[in-house]
Amino acid sequence: MANLREIADFLKAGNAPKVKELVQAAVDEGVDPVAILNESLIVGMGEIGVLFKNNEVYVPEVLIAARAMKAGMAIVKPLLVEKDVKAVGKVVIGTVKGDLHDIGKNLVGMMLEGAGFEVIDLGIDVSPEKFIDAIKGTQAEGVAMSALLTTTMPGMKDTIEAFKTAGIRDQVKIMIGGAPVTENYSDEIGADGYAPDAASAAELAKDLILK
C-alpha cells in the first residue's frame, strides 16, 4: 500500500529513483495525485526547507532533494493537468538587472514550486521591462527579485518604480531577497516583504498571496 510519508522521507534524502518508483506505485494503486502532491512531495520539500533554514542541511542537499521532487512531479504533473488542478498561485522570479548570481534564486524557485506555486523563472540580469512583460503575460500574483551585489540592489527599487509607472504595482505582491538585502531595505523601497532564505521565501509567498 502506498505510504506517502515514505515518499516524503526519500525526497528529503534526495533519492530521486526511489521517489519516482514510489510515486508511480502510488499512482498505479489509484492514489489521488493531489494527495501525492500535497502529502508527500510538498511535505518533503517543506521539511528540507526547514532543515536548510536551521543550517542542519546545506545547498547541495536542497538541490538533490529538489531533483527528487522534480522526478516525482514529472509523474504527477500530467495527472494534475488532466484533473485541471491549478497551482496555488503564480510567481515570477528573477535576478535583477546587472546581476548574474542565480544559485540562491534557483533555490527560492524550487522552494516555491515545492510549496505548490507555478514559477515563471526569468533567469538572471532581468530588466524592469522584462519583469513587467512577464507579469502582464502570465497574470502572476507575485514577483520575487534576487540581488547578490550591493551595486545591483537598486535594481529592485527601479523595478518597483517601473511597476508603478506601468500601473501594475497593486496587482502583484513584491518579495525581495539576497545576501545584501534586508528587511529595512524592503520597507525603504516599498516591497511587500523580504525573506532571508529560500524556505522563508516560500512561507512569505504563502502569507502574501494565499491569505
- Total residues at interface with ligand B1M (CB under 6 A): 27
What are the DSSP calls for 98-109, one per residue? T----HHHHHHH
> Which residue, among 47, 36, 34, 50, has the nearest Cα to 7 in the 3D structure?
36
CA-to-CA separations, 107 to 2, 5, 84, 144, in angstroms, rounded: 29, 23, 27, 12
Please select the residue that binds ligand B1M; options are 22, 122, 148, 189, rule is CB under 6 A: 148
Looking at 42-50, 71-79, 161-169, 174-182, which segment touches ligand B1M (CB under 6 A)? 174-182
Q: Are 195 and 203 in contact (CB under 8 A)?
A: yes
Residue with cell 515514505: 6
Instruction: Find all residues with CB under 8 Å of 131, minimum gap 6, and list them.
Output: 92, 94, 122, 143, 145, 159, 162, 163
Please select the residue that binds ligand B1M; options are 8, 68, 92, 144, rule is CB under 6 A: 144
Residue number, 40 or 159, with CB nearest to ligand B1M: 159
Site track 66-105 with ligand B1M (rule: CB under 6 A), x = hit: --------------------------------xxxxxxxx
Please select the residue that binds ligand B1M; options are 178, 186, 202, 209, rule is CB under 6 A: 178
Give residues in contact with ligand B1M (CB under 6 A): 59, 98-105, 107-108, 144, 146, 148-151, 175-180, 195, 197-198, 201
